[in-house]
Structure 1
Amino acid sequence: MSVPRVLPWIAALLTMTFWASSFVVIRDAGEAFSPGPMALLRGASAAVVLSVWMLFRRPRFPSGKVVWLILALWGIAWFSAYVVVLNAAERSIDAGTASMIVNIAPLIIAVFAGLVFGEGLPKRLLIGIFVSLLGIGMITAASFTGFFTVGGLVLSLVAAVLYAACVLLQKHFLSGEDSVTVTWMGILIGALVSLVFAPGLIDEVAAAPIDLTLQVVYLGVVPTAIAFNLWGYALKFLPAGLLSSSSLLVPAIVVVMAWIVLGEVPPPLAAVGGVLCLAGAAAAIGPQIIGSLRRSPARA
C-alpha cells in the first residue's frame, strides 16, 4: 500500500489540535464532573462512536496471546488510568503546572526510544524538546495561580510516566496491527474498567447542565475517538520519539484557542512561551515534515 509521507504528519498535527481543544473544554466540564465519572463518560462516548463505525468496517483483530495481553494493559493504562490520574492531578495542582509536568513525557519517550528501540537521539530533536519545555515553563509561570500540593505533583508525574509507557507499548507491540481496531479495543477496555465510576456518573449527569454533559461527550468523540485513531495511524509510520515531540505544540495551541474561544488574552510571558513551544517543535520535527513534502510516496 502506497502512503504519501506527509499524511502521517497531517494526522499528527490534527491530533495535537484536537488534544489541545480538550484542555479548553475540560476547564468548564471539570466544574460539574469529578475525575472518574468524567473519564467514564468520555470513554463510553468514544466507545459508542467507534463501535457504530465498526458495524460498517470489518475489524482485524490481533493474533497471539501476548499481543492481546499488551492490548488489554495498554487500554486500561491509556484510556482509564491516565485519564483519571490527570483529571485528579488538575484538582490538586494548578492546571498549567500539571500540563508542564506531564509534558516531560515526550522527553522520556525520545530518550527511551532512542536508546532501546534504536531510533537514535539527534541533537536537533533533543534541543527542540528542551526549547519547547522552556516555553511550556513560561506559559505555566504566566498562568500559575499558586494552587499546588505534593499529591498533585506526584499524580502529574504518574500521568507523565503512564503517557510515555503507553506510547512506547503501542509503538513496539501494537503498531503492526490494524490501528483502528486496536484503538477501538483499547478505548472499549478502558471504558469497561471505568464502569466502577458508574454510580457517581449517574448522579453527576443528573445534576450537571446539559451543555457541560455535551462537552464531555465531545471529549469522547473528537479528542478521543477521532484523535487517537489519527495518532495510531501516525505512529505506524513515524518514530515514537519524533512523533511524540509534536505534542509539544499542544500548550501553544491551547493558548491560541483560549484566546479565540474563551477570550482569554494571553499574558506577554505566555505569548513568548508559546512562540518558544512552536520554535522548539519546529526544530524537532520541522525538517522531517519539509522532507515529507519533497519526497515521493513511500511504501508502507
Structure 2
Amino acid sequence: MNKNTNLLAWWLLLILALIWGSSFILIKRGLDVFSAGEVGALRIISASVFLLPFALNSLKHVRKRHWLFLFSVGMFGSFLPAFLFAKAQTNLPSSVAGILNALTPLFTMILGAIFFTQRFSARTIIGLLVGFLGTLALILAGSGGEVAEFNFYALYVILATIFYGTNLNLIKFKIPDLNARTITSISLLIVGPLAVVYLVLFTDFIHKVQHAEGAILSLTAVVTLGVLGTAIALILFNQLVKITSPVFTSSVTYLIPIIAVLWGILDGENLYPGHYTGLVLIILGVYLSNRTRKPRINP
C-alpha cells in the first residue's frame, strides 16, 4: 500500500471499530422503551429499507440455487442475532455483550473444522481454549466481580456468535460467486418482511412510539443501529477488504470489545476483575487463533 492508501485503511479500521463497538450501547438505549423483540425487528427493518436500492439492483445477479443460501444468511447473519443480542442485553451489560461478540472468529473456525474439514494448527487450538476460558470467566462473573453465579443471558450472545460463524462459512463455501453487497442486501430483503410482520402483529410498538416517554430517542438509537451498524458499516468493510489484507481487516475484531467496554463505563456500567480477565483472554484467544496460516481445505 502507498502512504495515502495506508492512511485510509487505518481510518476505515478505526471508524468500523467505533461503529460496531457502539452497537451494544445503541441496543441498550433502544431497550429503554422497547422490548427485545421490538429492538431486533426494528434493527432488521431499518437495515433492509436502507439497502433496498442495492437489493433491487442486485437481483439480476441471483440465481435459483442462491435463494436458499441467501435466506439462511439472512436468518443466521442478521435476523436471529438481532433478536438474541437484544434479549441478552435485557440482563447483561452492553460492555460484556461486546466482549462476548469477539467469540465470532473462534466459532467460525470451529464450525469450519466440523462441517468443512478445515485443519488447524496446535496454536489455533490453544487460541480456541484460551477464548473458551475467557467466556467462562465472563459468564461466571457475579455482579460484584466474584465467581458466584451463572448468567444465562450470556448464552444468547454465544448463540448469536455461533450463528455468525455459521453465516460466514455459508458465505465462504456456498455462495462465493456473489459479492458481499449483493449477499447482504438480498438476504436482508428476504428477512425484512418477517421483521415487519412480527413488529406489526405481535408487539405494541406503534402504541409505544405514540405514547411512551423517550420513545423518539430509543427509536432513533435503533434506527441508527440498523442503518449505520449494518448497512453503512458493510460498505466501509467492503472497501477495507479491497485495499488491505484479510489479516489487517480481521484486526477490527480486537478493537470492537474495547470500544464496547469504554461505552459501558461512560454509561455507568460496573466492570470487575472477572470481566477484565474475560476480555483479555478472549482477545488473546482470537489473536492466537488468527496468527496462523490459512487453514487448508481437504479436496
Q: Contact 1:78 / 1:166 at 8 angstroms: preserved in 2?
A: yes
CA deviation string 1:83-126 (max 9, x = no partner)? 22332344467777777777655433212313543542122233
SS of the aligned residue for 1:59 comes to helix
Letter in 2 for 1:224: T
Is 1:181 matched up with 2:182? yes
CA contact (8 A) 2:93 2:264 kept: no
CA RMSD of the aligned region, Å? Answer: 4.2
User: In the alignment, residue 182 of structure 1 is paired with which amino acid?
Assistant: I
Deviations 1:243-283 (A, max 9, x none): 88964654344213323x42546434433443333333333
**2:71, 2:92 → 1: CA distance?**
30
Match of 2:233 among 223, 227, 235: 227
Quick one: percent identity of the two aligned structures? Answer: 26
- Structure-2 change in CA distance of 1:197 and 1:222 (3 Å): same
Is the counterpart of residue 258 in structure 1 residue 264 in structure 2? yes
Q: Which residue number in structure 1 is paired with residue 42 of structure 2?
A: 41
TM-score, with length taken from structure 1: 0.71
Between the aligned partners of 2:60 and 2:253, the Cα distance in structure 1 is 28
Q: How far apart, CA to CA, are the structure 2 residues paired with 1:245 and 1:144?
A: 30
How far does residue 168 in structure 1 lie from its aligned partner after superposition?
A: 1.7
Quote the Cα distance in structure 2 between the aligned partners of 1:208 and 1:74. 36
> Equivalent residue for 1:84?
83
Report what 1:296 is aligned to. Answer: none
Unaligned runs of 5+ in 1: 289-300
Aligned pairs for 1:134-145 within 5 A: 134-142=133-141, 144=143
Distance (Å, rounded) in 2 between the aligned partners of 1:117 and 1:153: 27
Residue among 263, 266, 272 paired with 1:267 = 272
Contact 1:79 1:191 in 2 (8 A): no
- Distance in 2 (CA, whole Å) between partners of 1:170 and 1:11 is 23
Please say if 1:214 is aligned against 2:220.
yes
Work out whether 1:190 is the aligned partner of 2:196: no
Task: Give, as a single letter, the amino acid of the residue that structure 1 aligns with 2:172.
Answer: K
Q: How many residues of Structure 1 are paired with residues of Structure 2 in the alignment?
A: 280
C-alpha deviation, 1:189, in angstroms: 1.9
Partner letter of residue 224 of structure 2? Answer: Y
Quick one: which amino acid aligns to residue 282 of structure 2? C
Q: Distance in 2 between matches of 1:154 and 1:266?
A: 19
Amino acid at match of 1:169: L
Distance 1:161 1:76 in 2: 12
Residue 192 of structure 1 deviates from its aligned partner by 1.1
1:204 aligns with 2:208: yes
Displacement after TM superposition at 1:190 (Å) = 2.0
Q: Do 1:76 and 1:189's aligned partners in 2 also have CA atoms closer than 8 Å? A: no
- Please name the residue that 1:108 is paired with: 107
Whether the 8 Å contact between 2:47 and 2:188 is mirrored in structure 1 is: yes
* SS, match of residue 176 in structure 1: coil
